[in-house]
Structure 1
Amino acid sequence: MSMARCLNKAIRVALWAVSGTSLCLMTACSSSQSAAFMALRNVARPNAAIDSSPLNPKLTYLRVTVNDKPLLMVLGYVDRSSSEWPEQVWYSASGEVLRLRAGRLAGLVGTPVEWRSVRWPAGLPAWGAEPVSPAPYKRLLDEMPGYRLGVEDTLRLQAIAPPGSTAWRGSASADVRWYQEVPSSGSTSARYAVRQTASGAVPVYGEQCLAADFCLTWQSWPPLPKTTP
């Protein structure tokens, strides 16, 4: 069974379990199902006190805002079907599923605007290179509603100064660099924060608008501790 079909089955079974449907429907992909159950049991629904919600130290969290409304998501599992670009699969308490690849939005379902599948045919530029390569790269995506399949855009990545207005929470950190991804189509740019560590660059924040009235951000949670140069 492919990982995509495995994920879809895991989501359906997890939601059936939450609503009281018989667990006898469980068949394959047991590890992904377990991750889905764990995620759905341990995430907080959107509320004003989300930043102070108690966290389970055994789980990995993501702070997400949707049109400025915050919620927490939990890492269900990491899809390693692509050895070069593994995808993190995150779950919300309401059943939304968000996928991140190298810190970028690789999929979003269960929301008013969905990116069902996102592909980068020629790969992605590496984080942390200075200066960032000016070479453009392509992105293809399938969007709902509207059955917009294979929507293509050409992107450029550039380093920027820390923005003055973001959904970032926590103190400014000296080991975080900021980047902007600019599309040739004229749609809204995406922005990212990447932490430089001894083992390499780690994306810790991103923001993307999928439509004029639908924007989201995501940040590793809890926030990074403050560091000194």
Structure 2
Amino acid sequence: MRNWLKYGPGQWLCAQSFLCAMAVLVLPACTGLNQAALNSLQAAYQGPNRNFEAVPRNPAYQYMQVEVPGAASLTVLGYQYPNLQVWYAAKGEVVRLQGNRLLDTTGLNVNLANVQYAAGGQAQQTNMKFDVPELGLFNVQATLQLQPTEPPKSNLAKMASATKGLYWYSETILGLESLPVALEGLPPAIYGFAQALPEGINASELPTAVYGKQCLAPTYCLEWHRQ
């Protein structure tokens, strides 16, 4: 399951017994994503260039482009709870989002696990507890502060902003020096919203972001663009 998001085509849900077992846990049926969705994903991997915008889309499904250092993928929304989205890549790797924030990941070179979010001491603060198993980190705690910021300079952020003018906000970790040494210099999370956020908005009541970036390690960040 490592070396996620390679550029070659992969098999889809239920193509392997492991994926079918995983789907039983998160989907009402293994057939929730049909051949049309698979075809769209496989089309994203044809040829040497990753032209995701040119991939034919089935309007019955929601797509999200995801990038990690050195690799990228088009994902499909497999299931949605009131505040939880489960996204699948072509080879079965999984990204779960709680609102705009990463809840956990499966199959990356670095993964978040056992993430818990809770209201902070102020409206625009959020308390976070999480594990990064690949770094040997467990029960790490941090407080996030939401604030306006400049847009990131990545190609995916530029693509998201070009199609929809976005308003940019970061979630900076307060007391960054209190994090484990393995997370020293961890960049803030960044989100791009379709509209400006009301002043003083509670961090637990944010609208859905078009773009998000959250770092799992100082040099390993995951970006996503809902399309």
| TM-score using structure 2 length | 0.69
C-alpha distance in 2, partners of 1:27/1:68? 31
Distance 1:187 1:35, change over 3 A: same
The answer on whether the counterparts of 1:39 and 1:74 sit within 8 Å (CA) in structure 2 is no
Report the counterpart of residue 72 of structure 2 in structure 1.
70
Structure 1 CA distance for aligned equivalents of residues 26 and 55 of structure 2: 31
Give the Cα separation in 1 of the matches to 2:128 and 2:99: 14
What are the within-5 Å matches in structure 2 for residues 62-211 of structure 1? 62-80=64-82, 86-122=83-119, 133=123, 135-165=124-154, 167-168=156-157, 169-170=159-160, 171=162, 173-174=164-165, 176-184=166-174, 185=176, 186-196=185-195, 201-211=207-217
Letter in 2 for 1:78: Q
Shift, 1:212, TM fit: 3.1
> 110-119 or 188-197: which moved more?
188-197
Q: Which structure shows the bigger proportion of residues in helix conformation? A: 2
- For 2:136 and 2:29, how far apart are their aligned partners in 1? 28
- Give the unaligned 5+ runs of structure 2: 1-11, 177-184, 197-205
Question: Relative contact order, CA 8 A, sep 6+: which one is greater?
Answer: 2
Range with greater deviation from structure 2 (26-35 or 46-55): 26-35
Instruction: Give the 3-state SS of the residue equivalent to 1:188 in structure 2.
Output: coil
Q: TM-score, normalised by structure 1?
A: 0.68
Give structure 1 stretches of 5+ with no counterpart.
Answer: 1-13, 81-85, 126-132, 222-229
Query: Would the aligned equivalents of 1:40 and 1:93 in 2 still touch at CA under 8 Å?
Result: no
Percent identity of the aligned residues?
31
Deviation, structure 1 residue 150: 1.3
> Match of 2:56, SS?
coil
Whole-angstrom CA distance in 2 between matches of 1:156 and 1:65? 24
1:52 aligned residue: 54
Give how far 1:202 is off: 2.8
